[in-house]
Amino acid sequence: MAYNYITQYDSPNYTAGRQGNSISSITIHWWGDPNQNPSFEGIVAWLCNPASQVSAHYVVTGTDRRVACIVDPANIAWHAGNWVGNQTSIGIECDPRCRDEDYDVIAELVAELRKTYGDLPLRPHNSWTSTTCPGNYDLGRIDRMAREKAGQTVQRDRTDEINYLNGLYQQILDRNVDENAIGHYLSQIDKGWNWDQIREDLANSAEGKAVAERRNARNNELRAAYDSETNEIQRLYREVLERDADEGGIEHYRNQIRNGWSWGMVADDLRRSDEYKELQRIKNTPTPEIQHVEPEPPTEPEEKPQERAAEAPQEAPKAEDTTTILGDIRRILQAILDAIT
């Protein structure tokens, strides 16, 4: 074997035997989030801790090409989160960094296990239970590499890969992929390239950069045309309707311009609108004259006659009235004297 096989660790987290079940698959796991930098020693210690209640048959890393067997495949390791999965599969915990060296050691272990247990298919952990495990691992790549290590001729349908590659060519280079490129990139995939690397390679190629420049130039032209059209539509709205154009109006008239309308037709259409007609009606309605009415002065309340009589001052008797009364008295007194004598 071309890897360092370690047998010094034993996990207590297993069920003895296979309970009458045969081994029918290999389940691929990863240790967890690679951003948290989990270590080979750390995961082995955790899986061998009775308190964890979990385990696997193997822990694998490409660093120093180490493979630790912590549960004998003859026994049931508690790894799948599913009892059928535990009973019928061999669990391999893989380094989550998914490096080429990790793939290589995993593939070699899979090839060795197949020599012992037959042509076992690979299953991801998430086929047994709801989980993100095994993360970014490509089980198809592991399978191909394991078969190549076993000396098998690997023949597979690569239609999906070719179709996806053609989609990248159309997206990045504005053309279909050619035969030479298909052969080149399928070879790179077999060497471990992923689609992000292929996408980056196409974008950074001379052809990819030229296409990007043409697209940028075209986008700038379209942006300039859009700005020019938008400005003219805004001008006509302000001139005819005396307001700014809304987004719906801008989009409508931009489409009409592309359909062959002239700017004069746009202006005429605005003048035929109900909004324009209402604006003109308001403008042509005579402004009513405002008449200012002077307020009347406040009037005094009318007084009742009794009140006026009560309030009127008594007039002093006139002098001529007094003289007349005295004369009358004298005449009366004289008449009395004459009668006595």
Beta carbons of 165 and 198 less than 8 angstroms apart: yes
Write the pLDDT tens digit of every residue in 246-304. 888 988 998 898 888 998 999 999 999 999 998 888 888 876 776 666 667 766 666 55
Cα separation, 204 vs 220, whole angstroms: 21
* pLDDT for the residue 17: 93
Cα separation, 229 vs 254, whole angstroms: 7
Domain ranges of the chain: 4-156, 160-204, 218-281
* pLDDT for the residue 70: 96
Cα separation, 286 vs 101, whole angstroms: 90
SS3 58: strand
Write the pLDDT tens digit of every residue in 96-136. 999 999 999 999 999 999 999 999 999 999 888 888 899 88
- HEC string of 296-330? CCCCCCCCCHHHHHHHCCCCCCCHHHHHHHHHHHH
Enumerate residue ranges in the chain where pLDDT < 50: none
* pLDDT for the residue 290: 66
* pLDDT for the residue 45: 95
* pLDDT for the residue 268: 92
Task: Quickly list DSSP for 86-98.
Answer: HHHEEEEEE-TT-
Please state which architecture CATH assigns to domain 4-156: 3-Layer(aba) Sandwich (3.40)
Instruction: Read off the amino acid at residue 293.
Output: V
C-alpha distances out from residue 167 to 160, 161, 164, 277, Å: 11, 10, 5, 53
* pLDDT for the residue 67: 96
